[in-house]
Amino acid sequence: MVETAKAVKLMIFDVDGVMTDGSLFYTDAGEEIKAFNSLDGHGLKMLHSSGVKLAIITGRTSKLVANRARHLGIDFLHQGAHDKLVVFERLLLEAGVSAAECGYMGDDVVDLPVMRRVGFAVAVPEAPELVQQSAHYVTGRGGGRGAVRELCEYILQAQGSWERVMAPYLR
Is 16 labelled as part of a ligand binding site? yes
- What is the tens place of the pLDDT at every residue in 131-168? 999 999 999 999 999 999 999 999 999 999 999 999 99
pLDDT over threshold 80, residue 1? no
Beta sheet of 76-78, edge-to-edge order:
76-78, 53-57, 10-13, 102-106, 120-123, 137-138
> Can you tell me whether residue 24 is helix, strand or coil?
coil
Round to whole Å and give the CA distance between 110 and 112.
6
Q: What is the mean pLDDT of residues 13-29?
A: 95
Counting residues of the chain whose pLDDT is more than 90, the rounded percentage is: 95
Round to whole Å and give the CA distance between 132 and 65.
25
pTM for the predicted model, two decimal places: 0.96
Query: ∠ at Cα 127 (126, 132), nearest 5°?
Result: 120
Question: Tell me, what's the pLDDT at 99?
Answer: 98
Round to whole Å and give the CA distance between 106 and 127.
8
Question: Tell me, what's the pLDDT at 2?
Answer: 82
Is 40 labelled as part of a ligand binding site? no
What are the structural domains, with CATH classification, of the chain? 2-163 (3.40.50.1000)
Is 108 labelled as part of a ligand binding site? no
Distances (CA, A) of 89 to 27, 96, 149: 35, 11, 26
- What is the tens place of the pLDDT at every residue in 80-129? 999 999 999 999 999 999 999 999 999 999 999 999 999 999 999 999 99
Point out the least confidently predicted range of 5-9, 27-31, 46-50, 75-79. Answer: 27-31
- What is the tens place of the pLDDT at every residue in 36-66? 999 999 999 999 999 999 999 999 999 999 9
> Can you tell me whether residue 15 is helix, strand or coil?
coil
